[in-house]
């Protein structure tokens, strides 16, 4: 293992330990389980919060199938990509079962099964980004450690009632992935889909926080939490569209560089127009 990799992992571990020392514990609020929409339909308690998880199962299964059939539809170029995306789609499909189980009887014990598959999806995405944009081998070898780190964060919360490690696993990728999508040159085209996915996840978190106000604004038709499930399911939808449409880039250029170039071209065109308009026109007699 290279010295730079050792220093990077060492620095990350030290920063994590320092944060755990200097920050207060974050216990799980029991008010979290008190959702706005608690209606039952057809004998299903909290019915819409349960049923709205169904899209995760559909897109998760579609993604898994397309990873392998027909004839490697997504055209993976790197060794670890298929493993990473397989883990991601397994996590997405499992969200449908874990989240539905939780919403049938919301409490801390069932919440564990809601968060576990989400953690698989989050950590898989981080590994995929490392594979594609930093180093194929490091990314491939990071899949299992990242999955284990996600599992440990869930167990730490469950046994010590402290959400700090889980918050890092959940929100870390939400901050890092959009930055990496913009700044690091991709191997494939269609990188803007990453930003669409991040945008919908952000919208889902806003809807989750506004669960009761949204339920009131919609005259008790839909709650923010049900909408959150639907918006969050759009994340794997956009990523699946990206995988289906992308091709290998001939020139690896980051989104930031592309935006910078297009802005420069725009300024150059504006300058040319100004210069052209200042040219004196001779009158013909």
Contacts of 248 (CB under 8 A, 6+ apart): 77, 187, 188, 189
Query: What are the tokens at 45?
Result: 């308690």
Residue among 36, 51, 40, 48 at smallest CA distance from 216: 36
* CA–CA dist 62, 15 (Å, integer): 39
Contact 168, 153 (CB under 8 A): yes
Q: How far apart are CA 44 and CA 231, in angstroms?
A: 22
The candidate with the shortest Cα–Cα distance to 164, out of 27, 276, 275, is 27
Work out the burial of residue 60: count CB atoms within 10 Å of its CB; fewer than 13 is exposed, 13-18 middle, 19 or more buried: buried
Contact yes or no for 180/129 (Cβ under 8 A): yes
126: tokens are 């981080």
Q: Count Cβ atoms below 10 Å from residue 128 Cβ, excluding itself.
A: 23
Cis peptide preceding 70, ω within 30 of 0: yes
Distances in whole angstroms, Cα of residue 112 to Cα of each of 118, 151, 271: 10, 10, 59
137 is in an annotated binding site: no
C-alpha distances in Å from residue 16, one per residue of 20, 116, 123? 6, 21, 17
Q: Round to whole Å and give the CA distance between 147 and 141.
A: 11
Annotated binding residues for Zn(2+): 103
Annotated binding residues: 103
């Amino acid at each position: 293992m290279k010295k730079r990799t050792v220093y990077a992992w060492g620095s990350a571990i030290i920063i994590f330990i320092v944060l755990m020392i200097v920050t207060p514990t974050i216990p799980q609020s029991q008010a979290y389980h008190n959702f706005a929409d608690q209606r039952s339909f057809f004998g299903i308690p909290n019915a819409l919060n349960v049923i709205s998880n169904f899209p995760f199962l559909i897109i998760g299964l579609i993604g898994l199938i397309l990873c392998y059939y027909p004839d490697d539809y997504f055209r993976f170029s790197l060794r670890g990509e298929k493993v990473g995306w397989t883990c991601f789609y397994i996590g997405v499909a499992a969200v449908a079962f874990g989240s539905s189980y939780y919403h049938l009887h919301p409490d801390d014990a069932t919440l564990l099964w809601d968060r576990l598959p989400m953690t698989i999806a989050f950590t898989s995405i981080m590994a995929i980004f490392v594979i594609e944009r930093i180093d194929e081998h490091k990314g491939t070898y990071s899949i299992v450690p990242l999955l284990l780190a996600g599992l440990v964060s869930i167990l730490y919360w469950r046994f010590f009632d402290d959400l700090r490690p889980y918050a890092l696993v959940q929100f870390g990728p939400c901050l890092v992935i959009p930055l990496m999508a913009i700044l690091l040159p991709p191997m494939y085209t269609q990188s803007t889909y990453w930003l669409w996915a991040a945008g919908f996840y952000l919208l889902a978190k806003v809807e989750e926080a506004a669960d009761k106000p949204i339920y009131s604004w919609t005259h008790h038709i839909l709650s923010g939490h049900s909408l959150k499930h639907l918006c969050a399911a759009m994340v794997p939808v956009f990523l699946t569209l990206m995988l289906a449409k992308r091709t290998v880039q001939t020139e690896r250029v980051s989104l930031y560089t592309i935006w910078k170039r297009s802005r420069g071209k725009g300024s150059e065109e504006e300058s040319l127009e100004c210069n052209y308009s200042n040219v004196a026109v001779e009158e013909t007699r």
